[in-house]
Structure 1
Amino acid sequence: MKKVYYLKTCNTCLRILKELNLPSDFILQDIKTEEITSKQLDEMKALSGSYETLFSKRSKLYKEMDLKNQDLEERDYKHYILEHYTFLSRPVIIVNDAIFIGNSKKTVALASKAIHSN
């Protein structure tokens, strides 16, 4: 599978997509207009190892809901990601059986290498 979960209204996501110069066989899913399904999230979890790695602790809602002072478990992370798209750390880039989560320079560089070495 070659897929990117991103937010069309996020300048960082758009900059990264432009930088990656994705081949045409990639599927792009704007998570605001096309919600993540439980099955898709489970597939991401299988590649990443946990829902927590997919969860954005920099989300505005994370602070507003005071989640940092709660003892969250895997099922909680899954619940919140499915409940509101802002809880997914973006972008999530899947290249075959490799997953790249977030927008750090290192993550984007590794994703780019994986994308363009196939």
Structure 2
Amino acid sequence: MKKVYFLQTCDTCKRILKEVNTEGFELQEIKSNNITETQLEEMYALSGSYEALFNKRARLYKSMGLKNQDLSETDYKRYLLKEYTFLKRPVFIVEGKIFIGNSKKVIESLKEAL
């Protein structure tokens, strides 16, 4: 399976999608097509952590005061399902491996996996 979760309005996502060959990928735009609990569970199974999937740079994270709280895995899961901006993006799933976020290291690993 090849899938990518991304945000259409995110310039970084757009750049990475142009940079990476997404032929054969199922693309899911997370604002118009929210992630489901089943999809989140699949990402969790591959990453081992909801926190790893959580975008701590989101404006909402700071405005809600979440950075000053001690969040549990259950809290991260709840926020990820509630608000699309909390998903660190893009998230690529390639043949049972997950690549989360936009760091150079992650994108290089993704390119090697393709």
Matched, 1:91 2:110: no
Q: Deviations over 1:30-49 (max 9, x none)?
A: 00000000000000000000
The alignment yields a C-alpha RMSD, in angstroms, of: 0.6
SS where residue 5 of structure 2 aligns?
strand
Q: Deviations over 1:42-67 (max 9, x none)?
A: 00000000100000000000000010
Q: Report what 2:15 is aligned to.
A: 15
Q: Report what 2:71 is aligned to.
A: 72
Alpha-carbon shift at residue 112 of structure 1 (Å): 1.1
What is the letter of the counterpart of residue 101 of structure 1?
Answer: I
Q: Which runs of 5+ in 1 are unaligned?
A: none
Alpha-carbon shift at residue 76 of structure 1 (Å): 0.3
Q: Which runs of 5+ in 2 are unaligned?
A: none
What is the letter of the counterpart of residue 29 of structure 2?
Answer: D
Alpha-carbon shift at residue 21 of structure 1 (Å): 1.9
SS where residue 3 of structure 2 aligns?
strand
Write the distance in 2 (CA, Å) between the matches of 1:16 and 1:60: 21
Question: Displaced runs of 4+ in structure 1, greater than 6 A?
Answer: none
Aligned residues: 114
TM score, norm. by length of structure 1? 0.95
Report percent identity of matched pairs.
Answer: 63
**Mapping 1:6-85, distance limit 5 Å:** 6-23=6-23, 25-85=24-84
Alpha-carbon shift at residue 72 of structure 1 (Å): 0.3
What is the letter of the counterpart of residue 60 of structure 1?
Answer: R
Write the distance in 2 (CA, Å) between the matches of 1:104 and 1:44: 18
Write the distance in 2 (CA, Å) between the matches of 1:17 and 1:109: 13
